[in-house]
Amino acid sequence: MKKTTTRLADGRALIYYDAGDDLVRGEEDTRPLDATSTSSEIRRDPLLDEWVVIASHRQGRTYHPPADQCPLCPSGDGRRTEIPADDYEVVVFENRFPSLTGSPDHEEHVIAEPFDRRAGVGRCEVVCFTSDHDASFADLTAEQARLVLDAWTDRTAELSRLPGVQQVFCFENRGKEIGVTLGHPHGQIYAYPFTSPRTERMTTRVAAHREGTGRNLFDDVLAAERKDGARMVIEAEHWTAFVPHAARWPYEVHLYPNTRVPDLLALDEAARAEFPHVYLELLRRFDRLFAGAGGPTPYISAWHQAPLRPDADREDFALHLELFTVRRAAERLKFLAGSESGMNVFINDVPPEAAAARLREVASR
C-alpha cells in the first residue's frame, strides 16, 4: 500500500491510499476555498452522564447534490471536487463540515453545576471507498476491500495519537433511509474526545463479568453463539458472523475475529486477508434480503474498538463490527419511535433466529 498525504485549498488534510507503489499523486486543489469555520462544543448530560455534540455549523453541509455535482467524485472536465485527482482508489480527507474539530491547545472547559461543557475537540474524516459514483462497498473486489481495511487501520493508528482522543470510530451509513446526504460510496471516521456511551456500558459489563467469573465476556458470548448455532450466519477460519441473541434491529449481524484483539491494528495478517471475503459476502446478502424493494438495502456498519483512555483495560475489549439495516420488510422501515427514542428500549419485529435463517438462505452459491 502506498500512502500519499497532501492538503486541500483550505488547509484540510487529504490522503490517497493506492495498492501499487508506482502511482504519483501530485494534483493540487485549485479551488478558491475560504478557511473552514466551525463552532463545535460538547455538553455533558447531568442525568445520564453522557456527552452530546453541539455543531450548529453543520446545518449548511451539502445535501443530496445531483450526481454530476458530487463532491466525492474525482475532479475532471473542468469541475473541481474534494478530490483533486482525476481518479483514485481509496481517499481519506478531513470533513469540511466536521462534528468535532480543533486542538486541545485552544480548548475551553466550563463547569457551572450541574452543567459541564467543553470545546468539541476531535477530528472527523471522510473515507471514499472507490471513485465509481454508482458503486457500493458490496461491489468492490476483495483487493479493493482490503485496501479500505488498510486505510481504516492506518487512520486508527494516526488518530489514536492525537492529543485528547479517547476513541476512534470507523463507520459507514448507506441509504437515504439512514439519513445519508451524499450518494457516493463512502464512510466516516470520528476521533472522539470522550468514550462513547455504548462503549462505556460494554467496558463496565466486561469488567463486572471478569470480576465475577474470571472470564472474558466477549469470549463467552462468541463461544455461546457458536455452540448454539441458531443465530449463526458465517463461520470462517478467522471470523464469525452471527445475529445477536438480543438483536435490536430487524436484521443485525455482529462480526468478530475468532481471536480477540482490542482494535484494527492488532489483527494478524491471516485475519486481514480473510476479512474482505467475509465482509463482502455479508454486504451482498444484505442486498439480496430485499431484492426488488426499490433500491439497495440501507444499512449502518460500525466498528467497535477499545477506548484509548489510560484507565481502560484495552486487552479485555474485543474488536467487532456491527452491521444492521432499518428495513424490516420489502416496503417497511424500522423507525425509532416512542419506546426506542424515548426510553432506549428496542422492540424488534423479527426474531433473531428467523433473521439468521434468512441471511443463511441468501448466501452466495
Phi then psi for residue 93, to 5 deg, are -145, 160
174 Cβ contact partners less than 8 Å away, ≥ 6 residues apart: 136, 137, 180, 185, 296, 298, 299, 300, 301
Residue 9 CB: number of other CB atoms within 10 A? 15
- Residues 28-86 have pLDDT tens digits of 999 999 877 777 899 999 999 999 999 877 766 777 799 889 999 999 988 999 999 99
Angle value at C-alpha 112, between 48 and 52, nearest 5 degrees: 35
433511509: which residue's cell? Answer: 177
Radius of gyration, alpha carbons of the chain: 21
Closest CA to 264 of 169, 122, 186, 200: 169
Please tell us whether the domain made up of 198-361 is placed in CATH 3.30.428.10: yes
Run of H or E residues at 240: strand 239-242
Residue 90 has pLDDT above 90, yes or no: yes
Grade residue 310 by pLDDT with cuts at 50, 70 and 90: confident
Q: Which residue out of 57, 133, 184, 186 is catalytically annotated? A: 186
Grade residue 102 by pLDDT with cuts at 50, 70 and 90: confident
Q: Where in the chain is the domain with CATH 3.30.428.10?
A: 2-194, 198-361
| pLDDT at site 60 | 65
Mean predicted lDDT score pLDDT of the chain: 94
- Note if 186 is an active site residue: yes
Mean pLDDT value of segment 327-347: 92
**Lowest mean pLDDT, pick from 99-103, 156-160, 240-244, 268-272:** 99-103
> Under the phi-then-psi rule, with left for phi > 0, alpha for psi from -120 to 50, and beta for the rest, what region is 10?
alpha
Do 14 and 7 form a contact (C-beta atoms < 8 A)?
yes
| Overall CATH class of domain 2-194 | alpha beta
